[in-house]
Amino acid sequence: MGTVDRLLKATEDIWASYHEKPFVQGLKYGTLDQKKFRSYIIQDYWYLMDYTKVFAIGVAKSKSVEVMKLFAKYIQAILDGEVNVHNGYMADFGITQEELDHTPIQQDNRSYTSYMLSVAYRGGEAEILTAIFSCAYSYEVIARKIVEECPSAPEHPMYGRWVRGYITPRYTGNNVILKDMLERLTKDYTEEQLRYLEEIFTACSRYEASFWDMADRFGTEGGAQV
């Protein structure tokens, strides 16, 4: 069993739960409250800012030019790809930089990125890639499942853009590159090292689940509202 298959096997129950999250179900069927989505876009924007820093630490930790180029490539891909999708939604919702700057980052969000940054500062190339891959690949898996269960989802006037963004050849191809590099970097890892990667991947997967729960609480009584 390869490293990635091992990581996915260890977290299969957590990953299965993503598809049942009310927020994800709302994206799939187009029934999501737009106020919740607006709040999610703001929080995910700030998540992506710290997520990009994890890649930047990867550049500094790289032991080869090849890996350095990989991490550097993804910094540009995030800033020109995912962030542009968010910028489009922010324009639709009238979200300004001033509003972004004055919106508190939710605790679930801050905890998640703080953990990833901690892993990056403490670990090496493979540990950083493991933390990154949990988020990057889960969005593809979620989007593919949405399309499988609701083929019209990519055409939804509000949420279709989000769904399409995570199943494009560019996005999915980048995930293949991440997977292949993680396999290469860990081919000689010991059982102890692999167990530590499982710990990282499991923690990040749980944070992903919490992020979807956080997003669904937006706008509810007693929940976060931004």
Residues involved in catalysis: 135, 208
Residues 6+ apart with CB under 8 A from 214: 43, 106, 108, 109, 224
Whole-number Å distance between alpha carbons of 115 and 131: 9
106 secondary structure, DSSP code:
P
Which phi-psi region, left, alpha or beta, contains residue 106 (left: φ > 0; alpha: ψ -120 to 50)? beta
Yes or no: say if 111 and 207 are a contact pair by the CB < 8 Å rule. yes
Token couple for 116: 């990833």
Contacts by 95-98, CB closer than 8 A, 24 or more apart: 95/38, 95/41, 95/42
Phi, psi of 218 (to 5 degrees): -60, 130
Half-sphere exposure of 154 (CA within 13 A, CB side): 12
Longest dimension (CA), the chain: 51
